[in-house]
Amino acid sequence: MKKFFSALFTLFFPFLAIAQQPAAPSDSTAMRQVTFNEIEVLPSATKVKGMLLLNKDVQYELEGAVDNMYNFKYERAEKQFKSLRRRYPEHPLPYFLMGLSQWWKIVPTNIQTLKYDDLFFAYMDTTIQKAEAMYDADDSNVEAAFFLAASYGFTARLHSERSNWRKATVDSKRSLDFMEKAKAGNGLSPEFLFGEALFNYYAVWIPENYPMLRPVLVFFPNGDKRLGLKQLSFVANSGFYTGTESKLFLMKILANEEKDMEGALKIAEDLALKYPDNAYFARFYARLLFVQGHFTKAERVSLDILQKLEQNMPGYEPVSGRYASYILAYINQHKYRDFEKAKQYYQGAIAFAEMTNERDSGYFINSYLNLARIAKQQKDRAAAKKYYAVVIKASDKKSPNYKEAKSYLKANKKS
């Protein structure tokens, strides 16, 4: 159910995040032709001049704060965001940045922790209030529409994760409405293009993967996956306030939907190197290295994750520990043939999964499966039976894991 709604809400709202100075796109001329040809209306120069969102001095000032936030140095980042708030108390930008900082405290836990929810919603509510005041004064203010789309989008996402479906639905609809209004600013900055890029991609992807939504999507504009990817790539390389989040979405889309693992790995490496203390980027990078067989790098990144987790560094949670432990276990089992070390890491992956109550995760099940295989190889039938029994309990009955476990237990019933 949650996966269904998450897909729906991904279509309905433009995520906003912050990035520092981007690298130039490899084909900026062609990209600009693709993206800016979609613009129908351009705000007047007078309105552009007053936009804090496009203020280069503010961007220069916030660059270090943005880096600190994405590198999980939350206190340093928030100190600068609060300084901005003292100078611009009626503008939505500083409140949004404070809310975004709370969001990135939630992300590393796979959105499970609740302790930042109240502060996150408070900052996003204030962002909405400030942006509504701007919009009420001038309903052609695309900057106000931008912040309203982003704030409602973020609140919709968290409400959906908390199964608050009514609130999530209402906020999603509001986000989409304001995203349409914010599109008038597409030609001013990549920031305004981000929501449209996501819409173009997911408006096609969602009905392909969730056919039951097709009747609902008839009432929405048509999407264009190819255009959406190009727009997202352009924003990733050009956006100040949306660049890093665009890279995150592009990385996940390439890895999970487009199956372009090399393209996803390149982005993951860029993010992990730029923000070395961001546990979320590190574990995504480690996973992509692992699945593509780059075991030496995957081992190094995974060891670094566990070391930082032991040091209680901000953002390093059991979820990251589960990823890193499993990767190290598998490498020790299959590359080094060090079964004792592999068993220790598999037990670690299991312990981390239990800390977050994720006993149905692939890492949890496969850790027990590989422990059973090691035990079988070491001719420890009692241990193998114990581990396979867990696999039976946790696996789908049609899965190969279940069939392997059932076959072994049946063959060793009397031993």
CATH class for the region spanning 279-411: mainly alpha
| Cβ–Cβ under 8 Å, residues 363 and 323 | yes
> According to the model, what pLDDT value does residue 5 have?
44
> Which residue reads 């130039």 in tokens?
24
Please give the structure tokens belonging to residue 345: 């890491």
Quote the percentage of the chain above a pLDDT of 90. 70
Mean pLDDT along residues 270-282: 98
| Cβ–Cβ under 8 Å, residues 145 and 135 | yes
Quote the percentage of the chain above a pLDDT of 70. 86
User: Which stretch of 195-204, 279-288, 353-362 has the lowest confidence by average pLDDT?
Assistant: 195-204
- Fill in the amino acid letter for 168: A
C-alpha span between 412 and 3 (Å, rounded): 39
CA angle 120, 314, 248 (to 5 degrees): 65
Torsion over CA: 249, 252, 257, 262 (sign): positive
The CA–CA distances, whole Å, from 214 to 157, 198, 207, 208, 217 equal: 21, 18, 5, 9, 5
Mean pLDDT along residues 242-270: 95
| Cβ–Cβ under 8 Å, residues 261 and 252 | no
- Fill in the amino acid letter for 304: D
Task: Give the pTM.
Answer: 0.87
- Fill in the amino acid letter for 141: N
C-alpha span between 364 and 322 (Å, rounded): 8
> According to the model, what pLDDT value does residue 103 have?
97
> According to the model, what pLDDT value does residue 69 have?
96
DSSP 275: S
Mean pLDDT along residues 7-25: 36
Going by C-beta distance under 8 Å and a sequence separation of 6 or more, which residues neighbour residue 84?
58, 61, 62, 93, 94, 97
> According to the model, what pLDDT value does residue 47 have?
54
Q: Long-range contacts: 201-209, Cβ < 8 Å, 24+?
A: 201/225, 201/228, 201/229, 201/232, 201/253, 202/7, 202/10, 202/11, 202/228, 203/11, 203/228, 204/228, 205/257, 206/7, 206/8, 206/10, 206/11, 209/7
Return the domain boundaries, the chain.
Answer: 2-259, 279-411
- Fill in the amino acid letter for 399: S
> According to the model, what pLDDT value does residue 333 have?
98
pLDDT in tens, 319-335: 999 999 999 999 999 99
* Residue 36, pLDDT above cutoff 50: no
C-alpha span between 349 and 385 (Å, rounded): 20
Residue 140 φ then ψ, to 5°: -100, 10
Please give the structure tokens belonging to residue 310: 């032991």
| Cβ–Cβ under 8 Å, residues 7 and 203 | no
pLDDT in tens, 365-398: 999 999 999 999 999 999 999 999 999 999 999 9
User: Which stretch of 152-166, 210-224, 244-258, 307-321 has the lowest confidence by average pLDDT?
Assistant: 210-224
Residue 195 C-beta-side C-alpha neighbours within 13 Å:
31
| Cβ–Cβ under 8 Å, residues 202 and 14 | no
> According to the model, what pLDDT value does residue 236 have?
94
* Residue 15, pLDDT above cutoff 50: no
Helices (H) and strands (E) in the chain, counts: 21, 0
C-alpha span between 141 and 22 (Å, rounded): 26
DSSP 399: S
Please give the structure tokens belonging to residue 177: 């409405």
pLDDT in tens, 179-191: 889 988 877 888 8
Mean pLDDT along residues 219-239: 88
What is the 3 state secondary structure string of 178-230? HHHHHHHHCCCCHHHHHHHHHHHHHHHHHHHHCHHHHHHHCCCCCCCHHHHHH
pLDDT in tens, 301-311: 999 999 999 99
